[in-house]
Amino acid sequence: MGNDVTMTIDGMTVTVPYGTTIRAAATMAGHPVPTLCWHEHLAPANACRACVVEVEGSRTLVAACSREVEPGMVVRTTSERVQRARRVVAELLASASDASLAPSLEALCRDTGAHPENWGGATWHQPVRDDNGLYVRDYAKCILCYRCVEACGDQAQNTFAISVAGRGFHAHIDAGWDRAMPESDCVFCGNCVAVCPTGALIDRTEWTLRQNGQWDDAAITTTDTVCGYCGVGCGLTLHVLDNRIVKVTSPPDHPVTHGMLCVKGRYAYQYVQQEEAAGED
């Protein structure tokens, strides 16, 4: 077939369509590679390097999330070089950032046998930024995956309120001159929160409940519905704890939203819970 590429992954011959990434091909072959910064609805940022694989003939390892397969390509997803690089990536990240709400990073550490404690040194520890009513920024947890920047920018929201500033170890997400979010261009759609893999961006309600020890994943039920604000028809998932909505997301596979919402859909749900109170007056 003219539109297919035949290549080898870990000794297995696989045939996939042109334009398939090594990551997708490896998943199809049953040899998935770990990812941190990759997100199904965002262009690959290539930043975390957790997904690196060995490609025969390539001097360095290759990011599987972005590299497209080529005919005859020979890929190894678990060679010694690959495993060493992945383990060091996990150790470096976990030695600098708080991974407690980052299941993908915790899994990478576990799967690679990482020992972040072997690296002392500077960390990302810093005060929580609590400057608006809708979400909290706890950058001690940030791994600089670029997802929030991409979602805020031309990958979803086209608001461009945040960007990476600074360089090297001091590179960080910034709304411009270290401004508080209400002073920035932020429109509070919360799509950055939706794509954050580490809890560095977290809805205020969830943050508060977690702070109070009241957040209980096991007790949360979800209800899918359609947003009632306008005629677009965004799919919503209401996360309910003790008969209160504590979080609103959109299914990543929803054809309208791809997981993205606006400020009303994501955050303006209080009226649902205030009807009863209003009726009692």
Identified binder of other proteins from the candidate list 26, 33, 34, 44, rule CB under 8 A? 44
Where does the chain show beta strands of DSSP type E? 4-9, 12-17, 52-55, 62-63, 74-76, 135-137, 163-165, 172-174, 201-203, 221-226, 235-241, 244-249
From the list 14-22, 161-169, 180-188, 262-270, the region that binds other proteins by CB under 8 A is 161-169
Adjacent-strand bridge partners of 76: 54
34 part of the interface to other proteins, by CB under 8 A? no
Min dist CB 38 to other proteins, Å, is 12
164 part of the interface to other proteins, by CB under 8 A? yes
Adjacent-strand bridge partners of 5: 16
Q: Report, in angstroms and rounded to the nearest whole number, the Rg of the chain calculated over CA atoms.
A: 21
130-149 residues in contact with other proteins (CB under 8 A) are 143-144
State the CB neighbour count (10 A cutoff) for residue 216.
12
Q: Residue 197's closest CA among 7, 20, 42, 18?
A: 42
State the CB neighbour count (10 A cutoff) for residue 278.
8
Which CB sits closer to other proteins, 7 or 52? 52
Structure tokens at 5: 């590429």
107 part of the interface to other proteins, by CB under 8 A? no
State the CB neighbour count (10 A cutoff) for residue 60.
10
Name residue, tokens 């990073």.
105
Min dist CB 79 to other proteins, Å, is 10
174 part of the interface to other proteins, by CB under 8 A? no
Which CB sits closer to other proteins, 52 or 156? 52
Which CB sits closer to other proteins, 168 or 231? 168
56-85 residues in contact with other proteins (CB under 8 A) are 60-61, 63, 66-67, 81, 84-85
200 part of the interface to other proteins, by CB under 8 A? no
Which CB sits closer to other proteins, 120 or 255? 120
Q: How far is the C-alpha of 121 from the C-alpha of 127, rounded, in Å?
A: 18
Structure tokens at 222: 């979800």
Q: Residue 160's closest CA among 184, 144, 136, 196?
A: 184
From the list 22-30, 86-94, 194-202, 209-217, the region that binds other proteins by CB under 8 A is 86-94
Which CB sits closer to other proteins, 50 or 156? 50
Strands 135-137 and 52-55: unpaired
119 part of the interface to other proteins, by CB under 8 A? yes
Min dist CB 216 to other proteins, Å, is 32
5 part of the interface to other proteins, by CB under 8 A? no
Structure tokens at 112: 């690679």
Q: Can you give the binding site for other proteins, defined by CB under 8 A?
A: 44, 46-50, 52, 60-61, 63, 66-67, 81, 84-85, 87-89, 92-93, 95-96, 118-122, 143-144, 163-164, 166-171
